Structure 1
């Protein structure tokens, strides 16, 4: 089975949350993945990456890219990093509520 077919079998999730910055590195922008979505991601049998990261393909507006979700110690969900090119392309600023779709890979 090809990689594309395997990806098609993995679930996707949509959520909305406010863009924030990482306290330790204020130039890193993150979307908090809500706890209910995080629990659903954890329920999928996948091979986690280092530090419990989960590989995903993300879509926000017209932008799609590959990244990883990182477990959050401050809430029961994950953090989704949003790179500068996406923030610029989608006109996203700090504290904006953003709708994202994540596809597990």
Structure 2
């Protein structure tokens, strides 16, 4: 399943900051349809994603009925991403 969306980078403060892009509701609904076939525990869904020139593998985190796409520093730094930036994401769920 291929998914394309735009969203804003958010920062989640904790012991160390984490950065995510929330999936829009329409795309989150698409992921929910295949999540049971893809998840490997507590609802995380493995994906391959691309933002700009950076491709990466990660897992979507379930949150409040939707999903968050984590952005590691290895993704943020080359694309110069910070909280509040709008990004275009191309992603596929790994079944």
Helix, strand or coil at the partner of 2:82: coil
- Counterpart-to-counterpart distance in 2, 1:49 and 1:35: 22
Helix, strand or coil at the partner of 1:51: coil
For 1:1-105, what aligned pairs fall within 5 Å after superposition? 11-25=1-15, 27-44=17-34, 46-73=37-64, 76-105=65-94
Unaligned runs of 5+ in 2: none
- Counterpart-to-counterpart distance in 2, 1:71 and 1:41: 10
Helix, strand or coil at the partner of 1:50: coil
Deviating above 6 A after TM superposition, structure 1's stretches of 4 or more consecutive aligned residues are: none
Unaligned runs of 5+ in 1: 1-10
TM-score by length of 1: 0.81
The structure with the larger Rg is 1
1:27 Cα deviation from its structure 2 partner: 1.5
TM-score by length of 2: 0.89
Helix, strand or coil at the partner of 2:29: helix
1:36 Cα deviation from its structure 2 partner: 0.9
